[in-house]
Structure 1
Amino acid sequence: MKIVDYKNVELLRQEHIVLKNVTISIEEGQFNYIIGKVGSGKSSLLKSMYAEIPVENGEARVLDYDLTTIRRRDIPMLRRKIGIVFQDFQLLTDRSVHDNLQFVLKATGWTDKESIEERICQVLKQAGMENKSYKMPHELSGGEQQRIVIARALLNTPQLILADEPTGNLDPATAEQIVSYLHEIAASGTAVIMATHNLSFVQQFPGRLMRCENKHIILEN
């Protein structure tokens, strides 16, 4: 099943072309790397997939949503099916791990207290963080915070995880653990697209490789 299907897509930011003639498809459970220099369009490509920046020209579908015609009111529904992992964590610093996750579930329509607690337990266990739910973000290491961010991204059982430089603020050993964990998620059937500068990951944890270069996406394998 195609999770992402772009044909001859063009992406603009402030009327400047960032990427053009983008033709890619992402399959269920596929692990994809996007590499390229700073400013080459990696983040813009990811943001286009959750309708943060508009798609110009061409055809673009993500999870059966047509991004060229998507209505503003449908964007939250699209984003509920996508898990987003940021480099800078973006955890709410004034509340515990548990309350960070609870906030997301309530914001995305969950109302049953028992179901909320059950889902929080499930994703924390999956991330190996079941004993950290009472902690505040500042009490966690960078690697632990990123595991919580991935747990947060998994809350609504997404079909697609977008990870934008998820290891950028981590030491090498912790970064390897996070990439390995993202590969496990892909192996369980969730498509993953990870933007990175670190080519050693590509060798250590093989996946499909896309390069942003000269305003184009080049498929390397």
Structure 2
Amino acid sequence: MNKVIDYRDVELHRQDLIALRHVNLSVGEGEFVYLIGKVGSGKSSLLKSLYADIPIAGGEARVLDYDLNTIRRRDIPFLRRQIGIVFQDFQLLTDRSAYANLKFVLEATGWKDKSDIEARIEEVLRGVGMLNKSYKNPHELSGGEQQRIVIARALLNHPRIILADEPTGNLDPATGEAIVNRLHDIARQGTTVIMATHNLSFVDQFPGRVIKCENHTIS
């Protein structure tokens, strides 16, 4: 199995405080990983470090083909293009339709051909069961529907890694289950998925590897 993440004795800081230390983490292609731990335990810091939003303070860190200790600023967008991010609070553009949200991302990441853009948007929307609601603005969609659009957005550029930060936090239990099930489907198709969650029932219902953030480290 190809490694997509390789952290060795990594230390991360937030506002000059140690968020995590002695982080040893190796994740392979197509793995589904749960990241659990209390609020403030370092889950978000770890996820943000993976796409170079938080610098590596110590140790060795590789994500995909990039050394995070030496990555150049101009290369960070290329790393991020290979990582899809699913946020708890959706972060959709509220002034445009679901379709236009996805089109904006593709155009911002260098897609030019109109027919290619249309075909890719249709493909990801069909994959999350939202093709028939693509004309609606976010406020016209339920929380679960918005999260499906966010997953579609995360998949647009054929990412090798999906990072989901509490993706079910604002959803009812049944909708949350459907979202986690969809993320597991994505992992089965070969994309690595790392999901931070407070909800331990998902771990029983949809088994995956579990990593715990506690006492400023992981286990």
TM-score category, normalised to shorter length: over 0.9
The aligned amino acid for 1:147 is R
d(CA) in 1 for partners of 2:62, 2:113: 32
SS in 2 for 1:58: strand
Determine if the alignment matches structure 1 residue 164 to structure 2 residue 129.
no
1:196 aligns with 2:197: yes
Residue 15 of structure 1, CA deviation: 1.0
> Residue 156 of structure 1: CA displacement?
0.1
* Alignment map for 1:206-217 (pairs within 5 Å): 206-217=207-218
Rounded Cα–Cα distance in structure 2 between residues aligned with 1:103 and 1:116: 10
Amino acid at match of 1:143: G
Alignment-derived partner of residue 49 in structure 2 = 48
| AA of the residue aligned to 1:25 | S
User: Is structure 2 residue 122 aligned with structure 1 residue 95?
Assistant: no
Structure 2, unpaired ranges of 5+: none
What is the rounded CA distance, in whole Å, between the counterparts of 2:178 and 2:122 in structure 1? 21
Partner of 1:132: 133
Give the aligned partner of residue 66 of structure 2.
Answer: 65
Partner residue in 1 for 2:28:
27
Deviation at 1:149, TM superposition (A): 0.0
Secondary structure in 2 matching 1:51: coil
User: 1:146 is matched by which residue type in structure 2?
Assistant: Q
1:133 Cα deviation from its structure 2 partner: 1.0
Per-residue CA distance 1:120-173 (angstroms, 9 max, x = gap): 000000111110111111110000000000000000000000000000000000
Instruction: Count residues in correspondence.
Output: 218
After superposition, where does 1:170-181 map in structure 2 within 5 Å? Answer: 170-181=171-182
- TM-score of the aligned structures, taking structure 1 as reference length: 0.98
Measure, in 1, the Cα distance between the counterparts of 2:71 and 2:86.
23
Letter in 2 for 1:42: K
2:203 and 2:182 map into 1 onto residues whose CA distance is: 14
Q: What's the TM-score, normalizing by structure 2?
A: 0.99
In 1, the alpha carbon distance for the partners of 2:20 and 2:71 equals: 20
Q: Secondary structure at the match of 1:99?
A: helix
C-alpha separation in 2, matches of 1:135 and 1:99:
10
5+ long unaligned stretches in structure 1: none
Looking at structure 2, the residues matched to 117 and 155 of structure 1 have their Cα atoms a distance apart, in angstroms, of 11
Aligned ranges 1:141-160 → 2 under 5 Å? 141-160=142-161
1:57 offset after TM fit, Å? 1.2
Provide Cα deviations, 1:103-131, integer angstroms capped at 9, x if missing partner.
00000000110100000000000111110
In the TM superposition, residue 198 of structure 1 has moved relative to its aligned partner by 0.3
Matched AA of 1:32: V
RMSD over equivalenced CA pairs, Å: 0.4
Stretches (4+) displaced over 6 A: none
- Give the match's secondary structure for 2:186: helix
**Matches of 2:161 and 2:26, distance apart in 1:** 13
Amino acid at match of 1:18: A
CA shift for structure 1 position 56? 1.3
Residue 63 of structure 1 deviates from its aligned partner by 0.7
